[in-house]
Chains A and B, each alone.
Chain A
Amino acid sequence: MRVCAGRTAAWLALAVVVAFYPLVVPGFWTYQIGAQSLLFGVIALSLNLLAGYGGMVSLAQMAIAGAAGYATAYFGVNSTDLGIALPWPLTVLTAIALGTLFGAVVGAISVRTRGIYCLMITLAIAVGFSLFARQNYSVFNGFNGFAGVRAPAVAGIDFNEPVPFYYLTLGVAAVALGWLYHFSRTPFGMALQGIRDNPRRMRTLGFDVIRLRIAAFALSGLIAAAGGVLFVWYNGRISPGAIDVQPTIDILIISVVGGMASPLGAFVGAVAFVLLQNFAIDLISPDRFNTLIGLAFLVVVLFSPEGLTGIAQRLMRGLRGAVRAERPPGDRETSTEEATARRIS
């Protein structure tokens, strides 16, 4: 019971902090740090679904988010004469549907490969998509892309304002995160974990491994697309540069640094990344930024394959172990709870 209560308390504390955060910090911290972390976290979360539960590491998540961003611009308001301005709910639905479809296509192409080959093939898709966007002027508006993309105003609330936009990203992030925890305990989620651990066994248990993997890619495409809509609203613009190799790899770094095995890790990684990105500039010259990120990446991966959340979990476990050692022997109530905790995480 104690472990459970501790976990509930930690989640409640986190909820209170993120809910009141914009009320106590300046606009820069709300928007550039808070909202940006949350939306990168959503995109990275789509990778944690694939990698953490499915064992498939995809580098196409930023491309999918970008595709949804482009769709938001094309099927919504933008400052070019390209596109079809739909009412915003339809814009968002179209963008997310296209992102989901893109995810399914990436899945269908890469699903027979594993490990490094899956990385390479999804990287090729991401680069190919970025190059295509750069060269296509009829839909993607080539090198310039789209500017003047704006979030809607609903019921008098303008979501282009920092605080409303922060709460919008927070809402999307919370739903996506909660859903992913839920997903891990659904038949689909458990089958995906089974496939991650032993695809051959899953086949002889009656599962269609290929189709399940493609469906997982589609679901992750849906989450990435939601992040992509927020991404284009946040920047107000999208161009091929936003989806080329660098941002593609940034998502992988966020995921790995935060911890791919845990849904919350996506957001931990995103906060770390956005903080570094914003403040490293003050410490070192901008062109050294990648070196710093690379070093940070290396340090985290070397010390904890499960990323920052892995380090936190180990610390917690250590603390709990110390507490347990002080309790009389035979007090074994935590063991099944730990088993439950493990199967959930």
Chain B
Amino acid sequence: MSASDVNALELVDVGRRFGALAAVSNVDLTVAQGERRALLGANGAGKSTLFNLIAGDFPATDGSISLLGRDLSGVPARERTRMGLRRTYQNSSLFAQLTVADNLFIALRGVRPGRFSLRRPHRRGDEMQRVVALAERVGMGGWLDHRVADLSHGQQRQLELGMALVGEPQVLLLDEPAAGLSPAERTHLLALIVGLPPSLTVVLIEHDLDIALRAADRVTVMHNGRLLVEGTPGEIRANQQVRDIYLGSQGN
């Protein structure tokens, strides 16, 4: 399965309609293992919807998606996660009433056996060590016992990333992880993303063109639910269509 000639993601003619609205249509996308791919596009271009289709939040109405060589049609979201797919959400999707440690613990349990266990985890057991290690990895080591609702927005985004790194992730979908952060927090989070292990496949939705082009090997631009162009950061930077549509709609 993990032979590197298998693509991390392969989307063929994928589409999703919401009633009359085609949020995503005719998307063909191939992401190789270990690739860093940025996904760009104006508001409403269909980027988050595409993530939802890949992660199984809701099914595609057209086309097929495969993850690490396995066709995902009919595969529920939880199974995709156990196959190594992880995602973050554009709006923080954490358990606000629970602590940082509890959030990471829940995420860890999701991809490990014993989800129905009625035994308390050992305070210094292997699992708790993993939780601590994860928290430290995303710079939240000192905040384990803090309630998520009491954290700053930037810390919540860091935790959100930590939640996606539990277990043995293979493919990471990050939906605007730096949204709403201060420039300093942005730089910090970007460094975390750039520093992820090279074997990990990352698809990154990011509105900031500079950040996206710096973090990615390849860039895909969507517009009105369709793929507009795909290329290296250099090619995208030079592309007139992208400048017109993407940068134009961003305004100055």
Contacts and interface: CB of A to CB of B under 8 A. Distances in A.
Interface residue SS majority, chain B = loop
B56 interface: yes
Interface residues of B, number: 38
A205 B110 contact: yes
Given A204-B56, A204-B57, A206-B81, A183 B118 contact: yes
A187 B78 contact: no
B78 A186 contact: no
Contact of A207 (B102, B105, B115): B115
Contacts, number: 98
A187 B114 contact: yes
- Of A189, A339, A342, chain B has the most CB atoms within 10 Å of the CB of A339
A182 B120 CA distance: 8
A198 B57 CA distance: 13
A241 interface: no
Interface stretch (B142-150, B217-225, B242-250): B142-150
Contacts of A200: 57, 93
A336 B102 contact: no
B44 interface: no
Interface in B58-85: 76-78, 80-82
Nearest to B173: A204
B55 interface: yes
Nearest to B87: A204
A203 B59 CA distance: 14
B93 A343 contact: no
B95 A197 contact: yes
A201 B93 contact: yes
B162 to A, nearest CB: 12
A340 interface: yes
Interface string B73-112: 0001110111000010100011111110010011101110
Interface string A269-307: 000000000000000000000000000000000000000
Given A190-B102, A204-B56, A208-B78, A343 B97 contact: yes
B252 interface: no
A37 interface: no
Contact of B120 (A185, A197, A201, A202): A185
Given A187-B114, A188-B116, A340-B145, A205 B150 contact: no
Contact of B77 (A197, A203, A340): A203
Interface-centre pick from B56, B116, B150 (highest chain A CB count, 10 A): B116
A191 B147 contact: no
Interface in A178-226: 182-183, 185-191, 193-194, 197-198, 200-208, 212, 215
Contacts of B57: 200, 203-204
Given A190-B106, A193-B98, A343-B99, A215 B111 contact: no
Nearest to B111: A206
A49 B56 CA distance: 30
Interface string A13-51: 000000000000000000000000000000000000000
A187 B121 contact: yes
B150 A339 contact: yes
Contacts of A183: 118
Given A194-B95, A212-B116, A343-B102, A202 B110 contact: yes
B81 A205 contact: yes
Contacts of A190: 98, 102, 105-106, 109
Contacts of B102: 190, 343
Given A190-B102, A194-B98, A203-B76, 8 more contacts: A187-B116, A189-B118, A191-B109, A193-B98, A202-B110, A204-B56, A204-B81, A343-B102
The 5 closest A-B pairs by CB, nearest first: A206-B110, A205-B110, A206-B81, A203-B77, A187-B117
Interface of B: 55-57, 76-78, 80-82, 87, 89, 93-99, 102, 105-107, 109-111, 114-121, 145-147, 150, 163
Interface of A: 182-183, 185-191, 193-194, 197-198, 200-208, 212, 215, 336, 339-340, 342-343
